[in-house]
Amino acid sequence: MCGIVAYIGKKEAYPIVVKGLKRLEYRGYDSAGVALLSDNMRVYKKKGKVADLENEANGKDVSGSIGMGHTRWATHGEPNDRNSHPHFSDSGDLAIIHNGIIENYATLKEGMVQRGHVFHSDTDTEVLVHLIEDVMQNANLSLADAVRASLKQVVGAYAIVILSKNHPEHLIAARKGSPLVVGIGKERGEYFFASDATPIVEYTNKVVYMNDGEIAIVENQEMIIKSIDNVVQVPYVQELEMNLDQLEKGGYPHFMLKEIYEQPRSIFDSFRGRFDATTGEFHMRSLEEYQDKLAEMKRLILIGCGTSWHAGLVAEYLFEDFARLPVEVEYASEFRYRNPVLFSDDLVVAISQSGETADTLAAMDLAKRKSASVFGVCNVVGSSIPRMSDAGAYTHAGPEIGVASTKAFTAQVTVLALLALGMAKIRKTMSVKAISDVMSELESIPSKIEKALELNDQIIKLAEKYKDVRNFLYLGRGYNFPVALEGALKLKEISYIHAEGYPAAEMKHGPIALIDEEMPVVVIATNSEHYEKVVSNIQEVKARKGRVIAVVTEGNRDLDKLVDHVIEVPETIEALSPLVNTIPLQLLSYHIAVMRGCNVDQPRNLAKSVTVE
């Protein structure tokens, strides 16, 4: 949460910083601010979106080849101009932007107030900048040393950038627990700093992902990275595998729609080159290198948050069916605060699009401390979760920018299906032929999703009909129970309609009381072992005059007379049906949200990367 971006070099900083902030806006959009440095420091900050900041700065002096910017998701202090970053030291020399939470800010603030510092915001961040100035003045330290000394007093998570009016050639950045990437510019002395690589990609493809406890000091056109204990680190320079097209809307009105339509390609990318369906062979490094360890595993614990947790729920069925392993699926935020019983032959699989979700990271940390092995399934290359994992697999969905996750979910399910098949092979719970058959079916999924996307016009009509309702119910069984949860989550996230997902059979233990002629019920009724049971559940809804939208397998005409609307999706095996069945539900929530005038890509109160607990 919160996005930070900074530039030091010879170019004008403002356009680079503002463009970067727009790319990072998915991380929060409560307020935005910039600081620009040349022979003086100018600051503009504003409640609202980056566009509001641009209006604020319009016509004012935005010159300077050093600058930094922040887009905020409020934690401490309401979203207003005053609480917007950057924040300043008393002398006005130092400015700071921060992503994370300073947990001991109240204690530190008390000390600073006693020492005469005057606070101008309600944020936890502001204490840091006072502390650094205090240390710099009283211990007579250089700026970089004062930052290091101050950070030693901090409990919590941070990615920070600091500029100093009195040190106009300097830029200091540090990270612990919140992401920070450094782009190494093409010209000498040019560096970019950002919460992820998206603001950097059009200027350079050489990046360094900073590690926890590191501080980057740019001075006299050179950057050195040190540990917080002042030991010089050798940065690991990586090549970015990202291109600009992935970060643009490409003619679509919203990133979410673009990402929904990208799924045939993103699913293909998530399995491409990873297996050979004719031989049943896998080419996944993590499966090969980690094979012995995986063979010993007695239990899987899948952890994640939000949509990633839903992918974990689908994977529970996959691992049980294919690999015959006991599986538990846990919200990372709950798992981390329990006292879970873990063994060294447990494998904890952390699922995350961003790779930065604070609760998932903390749950992984707990699992490691309790001697379990940790495997990461993650989309963002170089993010914290893969770096903390013992082994893992990237989902390769490409950057996902819409806050409501779509293509990342189907890519996660795809990779988890492959892992379940891989485990089946290692544990010999499926024949090679059976594994090959599932692989062949997986190869056909991208074209089936193309077909499912052709439902768009039908779904627009449905959205028109139901856009004004106040509640929605989603029902599914087995593999499609998590799909019902995900369908409901998508709708509430972006359209603000209350929606619940339920296992179809559980409906009679509660939600059935809500059903009347006003209540639309989306039922996933594609071919499956439980199809007849699902039809009985539909009967129960219809008996109470609920309006049923049934997602059925192409060619199934049996429900035409029973339900109000039928959505036909291409046939696949039940284990892979979540990949196809999710598509019409994503489209339905998208169109309803658009028709209700909601900001689809940036729904209120949400952020894409939740780096606070």
Residue nearer to ligand G6P on the CB measure, 67 or 306: 306
From 558, 559, 551, select the one nearest 521 (Cα to Cα).
551
The answer to the question of residue 577 lying near ligand G6P (CB under 6 A) is: no
**Alpha carbon separation from 45 to 196, 526, 552 (Å, rounded):** 22, 51, 51
Residues 340-399 that bind ligand G6P (CB under 6 A): 352-354, 357, 360
Closest approach, Cβ 586 to ligand G6P, in A, equals 12
Indicate which single residue of 258, 608, 611, 612 sits in contact with ligand G6P (rule: CB under 6 A).
608
Which tokens in the block code for residue 193? 């700093």
The answer to the question of residue 593 lying near ligand G6P (CB under 6 A) is: no
Closest approach, Cβ 445 to ligand G6P, in A, equals 21
Indicate which single residue of 302, 403, 459, 580 sits in contact with ligand G6P (rule: CB under 6 A).
403
What helix, strand, coil percent values describe the chain, rounded to 5? 40, 25, 35
Instruction: Choose the stretch contacting ligand G6P; rule: CB under 6 A; options: 75-83, 242-250, 267-275, 603-611.
Output: 603-611
Residue nearer to ligand G6P on the CB measure, 353 or 589: 353
Binding mask 298-327 for ligand G6P (x = CB under 6 A): -------xxxx-------------------
From 417, 401, 442, select the one nearest 262 (Cα to Cα).
401
CA distance 554 to 106: 60
Helix and strand numbers (H, E) in the chain are 19, 27
Instruction: Choose the stretch contacting ligand G6P; rule: CB under 6 A; options: 157-165, 215-223, 531-539, 605-613.
Output: 605-613
Closest approach, Cβ 339 to ligand G6P, in A, equals 23
Q: Write the Ramachandran bin of 297: left for phi over 0, alpha for psi from -120 to 50, otherwise beta.
A: beta
User: b vs e for 368-397, b when ≥16 Cβ sit within 10 Å of the residue's Cβ?
Assistant: beeebbbbbbbbbbbbbbbebbbbbbbbbb
Residues 404-463 that bind ligand G6P (CB under 6 A): 405
Closest approach, Cβ 195 to ligand G6P, in A, equals 13
Residue nearer to ligand G6P on the CB measure, 27 or 175: 27
CA distance 2 to 607: 8
Q: Write the Ramachandran bin of 125: left for phi over 0, alpha for psi from -120 to 50, otherwise beta.
A: alpha
Residues near 110 by Cβ (< 8 Å), separated by ≥ 6? none
Give the residue at shortest CB distance from ligand G6P: 306
Residue nearer to ligand G6P on the CB measure, 44 or 474: 474
CA distance 493 to 228: 40
The interaxial angle of helices 126-138 and 143-151, nearest 10 deg, is 120
Residues near 276 by Cβ (< 8 Å), separated by ≥ 6? 283, 439
The answer to the question of residue 606 lying near ligand G6P (CB under 6 A) is: yes
Closest approach, Cβ 188 to ligand G6P, in A, equals 36
Tell me, by CB under 6 A, how many residues bind ligand G6P: 15
At residue 533, the 3 state secondary structure works out as helix
Closest approach, Cβ 175 to ligand G6P, in A, equals 18
From 101, 158, 87, select the one nearest 129 (Cα to Cα).
87
Out of 2, 305, 378, 598, the active site residue is 2
> Catalytic annotation on 608?
yes
C-beta of residue 375 within 8 angstroms of C-beta of residue 391: yes
Out of 47, 407, 425, 608, the active site residue is 608
Residue nearer to ligand G6P on the CB measure, 384 or 528: 384
Closest approach, Cβ 22 to ligand G6P, in A, equals 18
Residue nearer to ligand G6P on the CB measure, 140 or 605: 605
Residue nearer to ligand G6P on the CB measure, 302 or 541: 302
> Catalytic annotation on 598?
no
CA distance 537 to 525: 10
Instruction: Choose the stretch contacting ligand G6P; rule: CB under 6 A; options: 439-447, 457-465, 583-591, 602-610.
Output: 602-610
Which tokens in the block code for residue 156? 């919590």
Closest approach, Cβ 351 to ligand G6P, in A, equals 7
CA distance 422 to 323: 8
- Residues belonging to the active site: 2, 608
What does the binding site for ligand G6P look like in residue numbers (CB under 6 A)?
305-308, 352-354, 357, 360, 403, 405, 606, 608-610
